[in-house]
């Protein structure tokens, strides 16, 4: 199956030659990625990778990028963090329809990762909720890759938790 996903990285100071970066990525097996270098010190790779399942394609891409750019730091894997407009586009409905769903089912709608004037959700949470509700044209590949990228992002953030606090928090959040 083919999966489409994006990995965004912060580059080390020594990795500023874009042509060299592209060559190293290609040699490391990232020839199935479109590479974006718009923001200084950052790089985004949008992969179209075939594999048996979403986790295996994400894992292989992370490995290939690490081989090519060992000092680069993962910023975010996507699709994961989304607003209502993003979900609406992916699910084939209007933003207004998504907002009505969220408000009408406030107690059961997935909790946002960030709540504010622009709230953000994990895509996999909202897609799973929508699939449980009925006939939305949501691709199983999209659900699988969204679950995998969410796990990558959660693991990346979890590395920053102090072990002592982690044990205390786990018991309080259960």
Output b/e per residue, 99-132; b: 16+ Cβ within 10 A: eebbeeeeeebbebeeeeeeebbbbbbbbbbbee
Query: In terms of pLDDT, which residue wins out, 62 or 160?
Result: 62
Level-2 CATH architecture, domain 2-78+147-166: 2-Layer Sandwich (3.30)
Q: What does the pLDDT average to over 49-59? A: 97
Helix (H, G, I), strand (E, B) or coil at 122: strand
Render pLDDT for 131-159 as a digit per residue (tens, 0 to 9).
888 778 888 899 999 999 999 999 998 87
Render pLDDT for 22-33 as a digit per residue (tens, 0 to 9).
999 999 999 999
pTM, 2 dp: 0.89
Helix (H, G, I), strand (E, B) or coil at 41: coil
Mean pLDDT over all residues of the chain?
Answer: 92
- The domain locations on the chain are 2-78+147-166, 82-131
């Amino acid at each position: 199956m083919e999966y489409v996903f994006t990995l965004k990285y912060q580059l080390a100071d020594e990795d500023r030659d874009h042509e060299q970066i592209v060559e190293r990525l290609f040699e490391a097996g990232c020839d199935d990625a479109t590479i974006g270098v718009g923001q200084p010190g950052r790089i985004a790779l949008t992969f179209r990778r075939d594999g048996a399942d979403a986790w295996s394609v994400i894992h292989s891409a992370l490995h290939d990028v690490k081989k090519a750019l060992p000092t680069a730091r993962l910023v975010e894997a996507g699709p994961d963090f989304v607003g209502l407009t993003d979900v609406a586009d992916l699910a084939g409905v209007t933003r207004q329809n998504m907002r009505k769903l969220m408000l009408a089912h406030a107690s059961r709608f997935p909790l946002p990762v960030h709540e504010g004037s622009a709230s953000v959700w994990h895509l996999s949470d909202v897609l799973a909720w929508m699939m449980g509700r009925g006939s939305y044209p949501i691709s199983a590949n999209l659900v699988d890759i969204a679950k995998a990228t969410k796990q990558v992002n959660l693991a990346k953030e979890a590395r920053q938790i102090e072990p002592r606090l982690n044990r205390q928090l786990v018991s309080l959040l259960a």
